[in-house]
């Protein structure tokens, strides 16, 4: 093998390693859990999408995660009246929901 082949192999291995690292970081990010709930109701106009968190899976508590238009995630108690009302009204709207 020549120098060019060694350099190409090294670059390929580095790229593969970077892809693996990015996959691990993304997996860790996806395992972020809610541990507490917000005490304030959010206005519906700031909510972009919702995610449901289940205590039966990886995280310790059930939660509704509101993803805001500004990029913040807000954890809410699914038993709170304002959350139930929002979820009921969201069924008829085009709000992205992921469980």
Q: What is the pLDDT of residues 19-52, one digit of tens each?
A: 544 444 444 444 589 999 999 999 999 999 999 9
Candidates 72, 77, 66, 71; CA nearest to 35 is: 77
Contact between residue 64 and residue 78 where contact means Cβ atoms under 8 Å apart: yes
Same domain? 14 vs 47: no
Total tally of structural domains belonging to the chain: 2
Residue span of the structural domain in which 23 resides: 1-31
**Measured distance CA(89)–CA(84) in Å, rounded:** 9
- At 28 the pLDDT is 40
Same domain? 37 vs 26: no
Contact between residue 64 and residue 53 where contact means Cβ atoms under 8 Å apart: yes
- At 92 the pLDDT is 63
- At 26 the pLDDT is 45
Question: Does residue 2 surpass a pLDDT of 70?
Answer: yes
Tokens encoding 90: 């969201």
pTM above 0.75, yes or no: no
């Amino acid at each position: 093998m020549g120098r060019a082949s060694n350099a190409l192999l090294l670059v390929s291995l580095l790229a593969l390693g970077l892809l693996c690292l990015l996959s691990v970081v993304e997996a860790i990010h996806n395992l972020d859990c809610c541990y507490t709930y917000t005490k304030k109701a959010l206005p519906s106009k700031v909510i972009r999408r919702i995610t449901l968190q289940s205590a039966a899976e990886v995280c310790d508590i059930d939660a509704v995660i509101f993803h805001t238009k500004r990029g913040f995630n807000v954890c809410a108690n699914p038993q709170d009246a304002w959350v139930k009302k929002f979820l009921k009204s969201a069924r008829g709207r085009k709000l992205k929901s992921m469980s």
